[in-house]
A and B are shown apart, each in its own frame.
Chain A
Amino acid sequence: MARYTPAQPRPALPRFPSAVWRVASLAPFQALRGRRLLALSLFVLCPVLAALLFRAYGAARVLGARGFTDLSCMFYLPVILPVTVLFLGAGAIGDEIDNGTFLYLRLRPVGRAAIACGRYLAVCLSAFVLLAPPIVLLYVLQVGWGGAAALSDELPLLAALLGVVLLAVLAYGAFFLLLALLLRHAVIVGLFLVAGWEDFVATVIPSKAALWTISFHLRALLWHQAGEGRLLTRMMRFFVRAELVPSATASLLGLLIAAAALLALACFTFSRKEYLERPGDA
């Protein structure tokens, strides 16, 4: 039999960063489609709807920069953000594993780590794209109550919150990606973790365990940004136990290190796991 020679030289295999980008670019907002997109869009808009009601009824006490901080601290950071990232993170690879189409990705000359990182990047981008606009809208509605001057004066607060959201997306994204790779019912387990560990432990139980939650450090960063008490409302004080608050640098580094470690663990788990499209079929 004559040997086979390709008609044209094959392209070079993509290096790791290129492979990550290629995987991410093929799944832009993949998890944001259909009913999931509709449900998540409504979910992230809940505080905006609340702000609209506040404005409609002229509830000045809960409007302004302090109200904006309160709503963010009460809804976005502990509930909306982790739940949104949970749904996106769990679907990043899990959807394809469940429906079997993951095989098409696995049969390409792309390393598992590149696939995991590519999908992580896609999750982070889609989560941020989903979360940032309603936060900006909330800012306009809440802080804009005080006039155009207030809007520009408090821009650092908005920038800080968006930065915190980005950090949160990075940390939760890695956490839920890992969870989806380890567990079959990652969404259910994730919801329990968000409600039980991230919220209950971080806010209610008086112990240092809160330092081991992502949400505590996110709120701590917002606490620092809140301007040495200028915007510290009773709500903020309830959510963040002052005696535990670490420095902003410590929280920032802690979150970045946690995101990197969780992502590395997800890559490791993913690269060692075998997936069968039809379990038990020999």
Chain B
Amino acid sequence: MREESGPATAGVEDGAAVIELIGVSRWYGQVIGLNDVTVRVRSGVTGLLGPNGAGKSTLIRLATGQISPSLGAVRVLGELAFQNRNILARLGCCPDIEKFDDERTGRAFLEGAALLCGHGRKQAAARALDLLDLVGLKDAGGRPIGSYSKGMRQRLKLAQALVNDPDVLVLDEPLTGMDPLGRRHVVDLITRWGAEGRCVLVSSHILHEIEAMTDNVILIHHGRVLAEGVVHEIRRLLRGCPHRVTIGVDDPRGLAARLLPAAGVVAFRFGADELTVETTDPSSLFVAVEGVVLDGGLEVRRLFTQDDSLEAVFDYLVA
């Protein structure tokens, strides 16, 4: 049987937006899922963060062409996404659903997925075995999915997302239900896929999961994108919210007195053996601390910023 010419196998262009949502709104009846969202996702790993009900699933459904936008346009690899076979040939999705056909074996499930992607029977069988090996399910491949643990199901979902060796991977809560070892393994895999140049969009409502994979994030809340970009850059732009820097020192009050002239210092909080400084200009503070240390008289044991983390940024934005 003659086959259609295959999807373009050229990879993702350097720096080009792979997933683009332009002025996208999406309603479910009277409920709004996304509200006038414009966002561009490039190659590498990008975290999609937001609390439950923020609009992450809607964004993922739009990006994978499952639903169409009520307003605006969704493009993936330069083409409109909705039910586009060319895109689906180059896209893998790990959905946030628990269901499988429990009577099927993991291997049969993956073989079926590979067949639908255009592989022949033999290649499909080989691809299924490769993927089972990749996600650590080689020994369980012949068992019915009904006998799999939650973590194993999660791995199988990841495997089926890779069946077409995709340029674009959309992973919805991929670490749910996994044990710590499994999480470590999957985080490594995701990081590797991003390093290979794939565009990997990972959604989660657990901040440290995303932090372990990337510092490039899209923060979403109530259907709107609050911020996108590198976490530290986003934090830097939040000038209205002072950074909190904690300094471990024997004499917190003495240190506070010497840091008072530094530019941007807003407030001090004193602990038994530490001082927390709120500042709008952390660079000046660090220079001032350096000066104190070099001048002598005070031993600084540790220094760290509490809120360059994704969690702090998210708290600031949502609050």
CB atoms of B115 and A109 under 8 A apart: no
Over the window 85-116 of chain B, the binary record of Cβ atoms lying under 8 Å from chain A Cβ atoms (1 yes, 0 no) is 11011110101011111010000010011011
Contact B196 A4 (CB under 8 A): yes
In contact, B31 and A7 (Cβ under 8 angstroms): no
Number of interface residues of B (CB under 8 A): 66
The answer on a CB contact under 8 Å between A3 and B88 is no
Which of A4, A277, A281 has the largest number of chain B CB atoms within 10 A? A4
Q: Do A111 and B15 touch across chains, with their CB atoms under 8 A apart?
A: no
- Residue B66 at the chain A interface, CB threshold 8 Å: yes
A:104-149 near B, CB below 8 Å: 104-112
Give A277's nearest chain B residue, CB to CB.
Answer: B97
Note all chain A residues with C-beta closer than 8 A to B57. 278, 281-282
Chain B 185-235 residues near chain A, CB threshold 8 A: 196-199, 223
**Residues of B with C-beta under 8 A to A275:** 66
Nearest residue (CB) in A for B29 is A280
**Cross-interface CB contact of A7 among B86, B103, B165, cutoff 8 Å:** B165
Whether A3 pairs with B89 at a CB distance below 8 angstroms is: no
Is the CB of A100 closer than 8 A to any CB of chain B?
yes
B104-131 vs A, Cβ < 8 Å mask (1 yes, 0 no): 0000010011011111100100000000
- Check A282 against B28 for contact (C-beta < 8 Å): yes
Cβ contacts under 8 Å, B10 to chain A: 3, 5
B11 contacts A1, CB within 8 Å? no
Residue in B9, B83, B98, B113 whose CB lies within 8 Å of A10: B9
- A13 near B85 (CB under 8 angstroms)? yes
A13-B89, A99-B99 given as contacts; is B12 within 8 A of A109 (CB)?
no
A23 lies within 8 A of chain B by Cβ: yes
Q: Please tell me if the beta carbons of A18 and B3 are within 8 angstroms of each other in the complex.
A: yes
B274 within 8 A of A: no
Interface of B is mostly: loop
What's the nearest-Cβ distance from chain B to residue A21, in Å? Answer: 8
Cβ-Cβ contact count across A and B, 8 Å cutoff:
153
Q: Is B278 an interface residue (CB 8 A)?
A: no
Q: Which of B9, B64, B117 gathers most chain A CB within 10 Å?
A: B117
Q: Contact at A110–B43, with CB atoms within 8 Å?
A: no
A12 to B118, CA, bound (A): 6
Residues 72 to 86 of chain A near chain B (Cβ within 8 Å): none
A1-25 residues with Cβ-Cβ distance < 8 A to B are: 1-15, 17-19, 22-23, 25
B196 (CB) vs chain A CBs: closest residue: A4
The answer, yes or no, to whether A247 is at the interface (CB within 8 Å) is no
A107 CA / B65 CA spacing, docked (Å): 8
C-alpha gap A21/B83 in the complex (Å): 20
Q: Is B276 an interface residue (CB 8 A)?
A: no
Chain A: CB-nearest residue to B43: A1
Asked if residues A274 and B3 are in contact (CB atoms below 8 Å), the reply is no
30 A-B residue pairs with Cβ-Cβ distance under 8 Å, sorted by A, are: A1-B43, A2-B197, A3-B197, A5-B11, A6-B11, A7-B165, A10-B6, A10-B9, A10-B89, A10-B117, A10-B118, A10-B164, A12-B6, A13-B3, A13-B4, A15-B4, A22-B116, A100-B98, A101-B99, A103-B66, A104-B95, A104-B109, A107-B93, A109-B86, A109-B88, A110-B116, A274-B67, A277-B95, A279-B28, A282-B33
Interface residues of B, Cβ cutoff 8 Å to A: 1-7, 9-15, 28, 31-34, 42-44, 53-55, 57-58, 61, 64, 66-68, 83, 85-86, 88-91, 93, 95, 97-101, 103, 109, 112-113, 115-120, 123, 160, 164-165, 167, 196-199, 223
Across the A-B interface, give the 7 residue pairs with the lowest CB-CB distance, nearest first: A4-B197, A11-B118, A282-B33, A12-B3, A3-B11, A108-B116, A12-B6
User: Which residue numbers of A lie inside 8 Å of B, CB to CB?
Assistant: 1-15, 17-19, 22-23, 25-26, 33, 99-101, 103-112, 271, 274-282
Further contacts, 18 of them, CB under 8 A, given A8-B165, A109-B88: A4-B12, A4-B196, A6-B11, A10-B164, A13-B3, A18-B3, A19-B116, A26-B112, A100-B99, A101-B100, A111-B83, A274-B68, A278-B57, A282-B28, A282-B33, A282-B54, A282-B57, A282-B223
